C-alpha cells in the first residue's frame, strides 16, 4: 500500500498556479482537482462507474452524517468506506466541524468539544477532536480532517481569536489521537477575515507538520472578494510542499480564483444540489431546465459537452423528467454538472502544465461574463 | 423497417406452454417475456443501458400519463418515444383505459367515451377510443392497445355484458382510427369472471383480426384462482398464431401460471414499486432490506443472482441507502427485482424449448413454497 504524499510537479510560469500529484493508498490523483460529495457514502443517484467515466478522482463523504447513519461501526465492519460503497479510488472525510455549525441551531462549545443537536431527531450529541478522529479512523478514508470550529462571518475579533486558539489545541489533540498511519491527516486553517489570525492558525498548524492543510471558514456568508482574501492570508503561511484544500467551494469562478492563489483541492455539494433543482452549468452559461422554452428543444444541455447526458438526451426529455420529479432526471442532471467541473479542473491542469493559466482564466471569465466584483452564474 | 408479426416457434410437449418470437420495427424479441414499466418514459431511476444489460426486451409506457405530461406532441416532436427516451428496443403503450379506472375516483362512461378527472389537478378529461389511438400513434410505440373499459371485480352480469359490448364497439372504432401500419394494434379481452362474456369478447376481437390480444380486467381485486380462470376463459377462444398479453401481472407465481395457460407477454409495476419500498425477490424468497438483521450483513441480496447490484453491493450498504431514502438505493434495488423477473422469463423460455416446463414449474413452486391455493411471496 502506497503511503500518502504530495508531489508538486509544476508551477505555472504565467500565474504561479500549481500542478501536482497526490499519492494515496488508493492510487495517484492529479491536482488541482474537484471532489464530488457523497455525503452518506453515495454521490446522490450515481454509480462509482459513472464517476470513473467522468474522470472523478477523490470523492468526499461526511463524517457527521455517517456517524448518525449507518454508524461508523457498520462502515468499519465492511472494511471501510471504499468497500462499503464500492468506490475504488481515493476518498476523503471531513471532521464534522462544519456540520456542527451548519446543521444544528443550538450548540455549546467548550474546551472539551461541542454539544449540539442531532438534525434527525433533536437528541443531544457531543463531538470532540478525539471522537471525530476515531470515527474517521473507522470510516477509513485516505484523507481525514482535524476537528475544528467553523465560526460564522462576520465574527468579532475576540471570539475568533479564542476560537482559532482552541481549534489549534483541538488539532494537537486530534493528531495525537490519530491511529492509522495509512490515513493522511489535514489541519484546518481558520481565522476568518483577520490576517493575523489566519497567520497564527496557518503557521501553528504548519509547525505541527500535517499531511496537508485545509482552508476553512469560507462559504459562510462572506462575499467572494473577502473569500479570496482569506485564501491569500492562509496560503502565504503554508508550506508549498503540502496540498491545500479549499473546503466547500465549487462555483467555477471560485475554483479558478482559488487555483490562481495556490489551492490544489476543492469540494462542494453545489453541482449536484443545483442539478437536482434543475440548474445546469454549461458552456453557454446557466441553463434552468424547467424553463418552458425547452419544452420542444431537441438539442443537448450543452453542445460542447461530451458527458453521458449530453451524448444521449435532449433538453426536451430532461425538462420532462425534471417536471415529473423523476429520479432518472436527477441522475442525468447530476452527471452533467459533475462532469462540467471535472472537465474544468482537467482543463485547468493542462493550462498550468503549459504555463498559460492566466490566459485560460481571462478567456474563461470573458466567455462567461465573469469578474471578481460581479461574479455571475454560480 | 420490419413489420410486426408473431412467430410461434415451439409448444412445450410437457405443458403446452409457448415459445415464440415477436418481430417488430425495433427488432426481434422472445416470448414469454416480462416487460418493465416506464410509466413516464423512464423506468424509474434506470438507464436504457442498464435495462439492456439485464436482457430487457420490450418496455411499456403509459399513454394516460404521457398524455398529461409532457403531452404526446412533445414526444412526437422528438420522433416518438424511442428517440425521446433513447430506448432502442421495442416499446408498448397501453390505452389509458386502466388508468381511467384506477386513477380517477369519479368517471362517467357513455357510448362516446369516458369523462373523468386529471389525477394531478382535478381538471375534467375526456378520453375516447379515437383519442387514445391518436395519442398512441403520436407516441409511436411498436405495440399499442385498444381503448377499453376495465370494470371492477366483482361486477354484476348485466353491467359486465353492457361493458363488454361497448368495449367491442370501441375496439372497432379504434381499429378504424389507427393510422400507422408500423404499429401493431392489440384488442383487449374483458368479461371478468363470466366465461360466456370472455368468449364473446375474445371471439369478436379475433374476428376483427388484431395483431395480438391482451387479457384485461385482471389484478383488480380478484383472487389468484379466479384470475387463472379468467385467463383460461379468454385464451380458449383466441387464435394460437397471435401473441397473448396478460396486462398488469408481474408476481412470479402468476407469470408461471400464466405461461402454463398460454400467455406470451406480461408487464407490471410490481418489481420496481416494491423495490423502492425495500422488498426484493430472491432465490431465498422475499427479502425486506429495511430489516435490522441486515445492518452488518456483508452478503449480497441474493447469492445466486448475477445482477449489477448483487455483484457489487452488500445488504448492509443497501439497507443503509434504503434507510436514508437515497436515490441510488432505489436504483440498485430496482435493478435487482427487474433482473429477477427477466432471468425468470429467460429460464422459462429455456424450459419450454426443452419440453420440461411442467418440471420447471413444480421445482420453482416447491422451492418457494408456493401453491395456487396459498400463493406466498409476491
A94 as an active site residue: the answer is yes
Looking at A193, A211, A253, A267, which residue is catalytic?
Answer: A267
Q: Is B267 a catalytic residue?
A: yes
Residue B377 has pLDDT above 90, yes or no: no
Taking only the tens place, the pLDDT of each residue in A316-371 is 999 999 999 999 999 999 999 999 999 999 999 999 999 999 999 999 999 888 76
What are the backbone dihedrals phi and psi of residue B107, each rounded to the nearest 5 degrees, phi first? -155, 150
Q: Say how many residues make up chain A.
A: 378
Give me the phi and psi of A268, to 5 degrees please: -170, 145
Whole-number percent of chain A with pLDDT over 90: 93
CB A290 within 8 A of CB A320: no
3-state secondary structure of A335: helix
Out of B86, B316, B321, the one facing A313 most closely (by C-beta) is B86
Q: What is the mean pLDDT of chain B?
A: 96
For residue A319, count CB atoms less than 10 angstroms from its CB and return exposed for 0-12, middle for 13-18, buried for 19 or more.
Answer: buried
E strands, chain B, where? 5-11, 18-24, 27-31, 33-35, 59-61, 91-93, 107-109, 114-117, 124-127, 143-145, 184-189, 212-215, 244-246, 265-267, 279-282, 285-288
Peptide bond into A20 cis (omega under 30): no
Contact B260, B15 (CB under 8 A): yes
Is residue B376 very low, low, confident or very high in pLDDT (cuts 50, 70, 90)?
very low
Provide the sign of the torsion angle of the four alpha carbons A301, A307, A311, A313, taken in this order: negative
List, in order, residues 6 or more apart from A109 with CB less than 8 Å away.
A115, A149, A166
What pLDDT, in 10s, does the model give residues A9-57? Answer: 999 999 999 999 999 999 999 999 999 999 999 999 999 999 999 999 9
B316/A77 Cβ within 8 A: yes
Closest-CA distance, B169 to chain A, in angstroms, reads 35
Q: State the nearest Cα–Cα gap between B7 and chain A, in angstroms.
A: 33
What are the cell numbers at A104? 444544528
Predicted confidence (pLDDT) per residue in B188-237, tens digit = 999 999 999 999 999 999 999 999 999 999 989 899 999 999 999 999 99
Q: Which residues of B touch A273 (CB under 8 A)?
A: none
Which pairs with CB-CB distance under 8 Å and at least 24 residues apart come from A19-25? A19/A349, A19/A352, A19/A353, A20/A243, A20/A264, A22/A58, A22/A90, A22/A243, A22/A264, A24/A58, A24/A90, A24/A142, A24/A143, A24/A184, A25/A1, A25/A90, A25/A142, A25/A182
Query: How confident is the model over B319-333, as pLDDT tens digits?
Result: 999 999 999 999 999
Confidence (pLDDT) at B368 = 86
Contact (Cβ atoms closer than 8 angstroms) between residue B136 and residue B60: no
Which tens digit of pLDDT belongs to each residue from A256-271?
999 999 999 999 999 9
Residue tagged active-site, from B148, B267, B355, B359: B267
The per-residue pLDDT for range B348-360, each reduced to its tens digit, is 999 999 999 999 9
For residue B325, what is its C-alpha cell? Answer: 431514502
The C-alpha cell that represents B279 in the structure block: 422488498
Task: Answer yes or no: is pLDDT of B371 > 80.
Answer: no
Residue B343 has pLDDT above 80, yes or no: yes
Given an 8 Å threshold on Cβ–Cβ distance, is A298 in contact with B78?
yes
- B296 neighbourhood in chain A, CB within 8 Å: 74, 77
A313 touches chain B (CB under 8 A): yes
CB contact under 8 A, A295 and B46: no
Q: Do A74 and B44 touch (CB under 8 A)?
A: no
Cα torsion B1, B5, B9, B15: sign: positive
Confidence of residue A239 (pLDDT cuts 50, 70, 90): very high
Q: pLDDT (tens digit, 9 = 90+) per residue, A59-90?
A: 999 999 999 999 999 999 999 999 999 999 99
Distance CA(B29)–CA(A3), nearest Å, equals: 53
Predicted confidence (pLDDT) at residue A373 exceeds the cutoff of 70: no
Do the Cβ atoms of A250 and A341 come closer than 8 Å? yes
Contact B86 A329 (CB under 8 A): no
Q: Residue A101 has what pLDDT? A: 86
- Count of C-beta atoms within a 10 Å radius of residue B208: 14
In whole angstroms, how large is the CA radius of gyration of chain B?
20
Beta-carbon-side half-sphere exposure of residue A225 (alpha carbons within 13 Å): 4
Residue A375 scores a pLDDT above 60 = no
Which helix (H) or strand (E) covers residue A170, if one does? helix A157-177
Q: Which of B100-109, B162-171, B282-291 has the lowest mean pLDDT?
A: B100-109
**What band does B105 get if pLDDT is binned at 50, 70 and 90?**
confident
Query: Hey, what's the cell of A336?
Result: 452533467
Tell me which DSSP letter residue A258 carries: H
Chain B contact present for A52, CB below 8 A:
no
CB of B252 closer than 8 Å to CB of B341: yes
* Whole-number Å distance between alpha carbons of A77 and A71: 10
| Chain A: closest CA distance from residue B184 (Å) | 25
The single-letter DSSP state of residue B3 is P
User: Can you give the pLDDT at residue A2?
Assistant: 76
Number of neighbours of residue A234 by Cβ within 10 angstroms: 30
CB-CB contact of A193 with A154 (8 Å)? yes
Does residue A44 belong to the interface with chain B, where contact is any CB pair within 8 Å?
A: yes
Distance from B93 to chain A by nearest Cα, in Å?
A: 18
What's chain A's average pLDDT? 96
- The DSSP line for A282-307 is ETTEEEETT-GGGTT--S-S-TT--S
Report chain B residues whose CB lies below 8 A from the CB of A314: 78, 84
Please give the Cα distance from B172 to B234 (Å, whole number).
Answer: 19
- Cα→Cα distances A223→A229, A340, A364, Å: 10, 24, 21
Question: pTM to 2 decimals?
Answer: 0.97
B359 part of contact set with chain A, CB < 8 Å = no
Q: What is the pLDDT of residues A165-180, one digit of tens each?
A: 999 999 999 999 998 9
Cα separation values, A90 from A25, A70, A147, A252, B329, Å: 7, 21, 21, 23, 22
Q: Kindly state the cell numbers that stand for A311.
A: 451524448
- What are the beta bridge partners of residue A245? A214, A265
> Which of A75-84, A209-218, B103-112, B162-171 bottoms out in mean pLDDT, i.e. has the lowest?
B103-112
* Among B138, B3, B6, residue whose Cα is nearest residue B70: B138
- Chain B environment of A313 (Cβ under 8 Å): 86
Whether B45 and A295 lie within 8 Å, measured CB to CB: no
Q: How far apart are the first and last CA of chain A?
A: 39
CA triplet A208, A214, A219: central angle to 5 degrees? 145
Query: For chains A and B, what is the number of CB pairs under 8 angstroms?
Result: 101
Question: Given CA atoms B218, B224, B226, B229 in this order, what sign does their dihedral have?
Answer: positive
CB contact under 8 A, B70 and A323: yes
How far does Cα A13 stand from its chain's mean position? 26
User: Does B327 sit within 8 Å of A331, measured CB to CB?
Assistant: yes
Give me A339's grid cell: 462532469
- Paired with B92 in beta bridges are B60, B143
Percent of chain B exceeding pLDDT 90 equals 93
Grid cell listed for A123: 437528541
Selected catalytic residue, list A94, A193, A211, A264: A94
Calculate the alpha carbon distances from B338 to A254, B266, B307, B351, B352 in Å: 43, 13, 9, 20, 21
Contact A315/B at CB under 8 A: no
Amino acid at each position: 500500500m502506497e503511503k500518502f504524499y504530495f508531489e508538486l510537479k509544476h508551477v505555472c510560469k504565467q500565474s504561479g498556479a500549481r500542478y501536482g500529484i497526490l499519492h494515496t493508498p488508493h492510487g495517484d490523483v492529479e491536482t488541482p482537482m474537484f471532489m464530488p460529495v457523497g455525503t452518506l457514502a453515495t454521490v446522490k443517484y450515481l454509480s462509482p462507474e459513472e464517476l470513473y467515466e467522468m474522470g472523478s478522482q477523490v470523492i468526499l463523504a461526511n463524517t457527521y452524517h455517517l456517524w448518525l447513519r449507518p454508524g461508523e461501526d457498520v462502515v468499519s465492519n465492511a472494511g471501510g468506506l471504499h468497500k462499503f460503497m464500492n468506490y475504488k479510488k481515493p476518498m476523503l472525510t471531513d471532521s464534522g466541524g462544519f456540520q456542527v455549525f451548519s446543521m444544528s441551531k443550538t450548540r455549546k462549545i467548550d474546551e472539551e468539544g461541542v454539544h449540539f443537536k442531532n438534525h434527525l431527531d433533536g437528541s443531544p450529541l457531543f463531538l470532540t477532536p478525539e471522537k471525530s478522529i476515531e470515527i474517521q479512523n473507522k470510516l477509513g478514508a485516505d484523507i481525514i480532517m482535524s476537528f475544528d470550529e467553523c465560526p460564522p462571518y462576520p465574527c468579532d475579533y475576540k471570539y475568533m481569536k479564542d476560537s482559532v486558539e482552541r481549534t489549534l489545541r483541538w488539532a494537537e489533540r486530534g493528531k495525537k489521537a490519530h491511529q492509522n498511519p495509512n490515513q493522511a491527516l489535514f489541519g484546518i486553517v481558520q481565522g476568518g477575515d483577520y490576517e493575523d489570525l489566519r497567520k497564527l492558525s496557518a503557521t501553528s498548524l504548519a509547525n505541527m507538520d500535517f499531511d496537508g492543510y485545509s482552508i476553512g471558514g469560507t462559504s459562510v456568508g462572506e462575499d467572494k472578494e473577502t473569500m479570496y482574501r482569506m485564501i491569500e492570508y492562509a496560503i502565504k503561511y503554508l508550506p508549498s510542499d503540502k496540498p491545500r484544500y479549499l473546503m466547500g467551494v465549487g462555483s467555477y469562478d471560485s475554483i479558478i480564483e482559488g487555483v490562481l492563489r495556490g489551492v490544489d483541492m476543492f469540494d462542494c455539494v453545489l453541482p449536484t444540489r443545483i442539478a437536482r433543482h434543475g440548474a445546469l452549468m454549461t458552456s453557454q452559461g446557466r441553463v434552468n431546465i424547467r424553463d418552458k422554452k425547452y419544452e420542444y428543444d431537441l438539442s443537448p444541455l450543452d453542445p460542447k459537452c461530451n458527458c453521458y447526458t449530453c451524448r444521449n438526451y435532449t433538453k426536451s426529455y430532461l425538462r420532462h423528467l425534471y417536471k415529473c420529479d423523476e429520479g432518472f432526471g436527477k441522475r442525468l442532471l447530476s452527471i452533467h454538472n459533475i462532469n462540467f467541473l471535472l472537465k474544468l479542473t482537467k482543463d485547468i491542469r493542462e493550462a498550468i502544465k503549459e504555463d498559460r493559466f492566466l490566459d485560460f482564466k481571462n478567456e474563461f471569465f470573458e466567455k462567461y461574463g465573469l469578474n471578481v466584483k460581479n461574479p455571475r452564474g454560480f
